[in-house]
Amino acid sequence: MTSVPKIAAALAALALVATGGIAATQKQGATKKQNWLVAIARNDNGHRLGNPDAETKLVEYMSYTCSHCADFAREGEGAIKLAYIPTGKVSFEIRHLLRDPVDLTAALLTHCGEANRFMANHAAVILKQDEWLAAARATTQAQRSRWQFGSNAARRQAIASDLGFYEIMETRGYERTQLDRCLTDETKATALAETSMRDMRDHGIQGTPSFLVNGELLDGVHAWRALQPELDKRI
């Protein structure tokens, strides 16, 4: 049988071990690096990637029918995700300036599903811009008339069908019925359009892509080669 003093001593020793173990676990947790590349959140009809408390908050205003936006997606987005977002010092938000019904159709599809699907949806659509713009130029008058008549939902479904948007999104694992629900969401369509008009007015944005850093519009910056030094001098 173990004596009371021995039990007390043993319990004290266990307490010390437990305290040390907790401290070690806390230290490991504190030093574990946050993966900001999986931190995606909806933000007022935009999507933000990275640390929400980043010192440098970059916002891109883009349109899916803008060729310079596709150039930026190819040249700049990968670099931002590789070299800036992981540091936790920079966050990157994508917001839409809607120029036409094709823009709105594409935006509704990229927003389809949970917020964490947006960045890959966005890349799937914008990086195939050359293909679906070529399809748009090749459409017949009969096809284009379907974009202009009927309900708004039917027009967007016609655009998605004629430009191959359904096929692009199906490669992302979506089903046609799910995509149609997103395309016929009038509440979302109205919110995107109203947010686009408000952002253009409030920030004085004249074209796409345009960039804000910490709420300040970068005058004359519309490409990665001009944006990169602006980011570098802030971090």
Q: How confident is the model at residue 89 (pLDDT cuts 50, 70, 90)?
A: very high
The amino acid present at 46, given as its one-letter code, is G
User: Is residue 222 scored above 80 in pLDDT?
Assistant: yes
- The domain limits of the chain are 1-32, 36-232
- Confidence (pLDDT) at 33: 81
Please give the mean pLDDT across all residues of the chain. Answer: 90
pLDDT by residue (tens digit) across 21-57? 444 444 444 446 899 999 999 999 999 999 999 999 9
User: Is residue 12 scored above 80 in pLDDT?
Assistant: no
Give percent of the chain with pLDDT exceeding 90.
Answer: 85
The CATH fold assigned to 36-232 is Glutaredoxin (3.40.30)
Structure tokens at 5: 């003093």
pLDDT by residue (tens digit) across 181-193? 999 999 999 999 9
Rounded CA gap, 39 and 55, in Å?
A: 16
Rounded CA gap, 75 and 225, in Å?
A: 9
Could you tell me the sign of the dihedral formed by the alpha carbons of 132, 74, 223, 78, in that order?
positive
The amino acid present at 208, given as its one-letter code, is T
CB proximity list for 159: less than 8 A, separation 6 or greater: 101, 102, 105, 147, 165
DSSP β-bridge partners for residue 91: 57
Rounded CA gap, 21 and 193, in Å?
A: 54
- Confidence (pLDDT) at 235: 82
State the pTM of this model. Answer: 0.85
- Confidence (pLDDT) at 7: 40
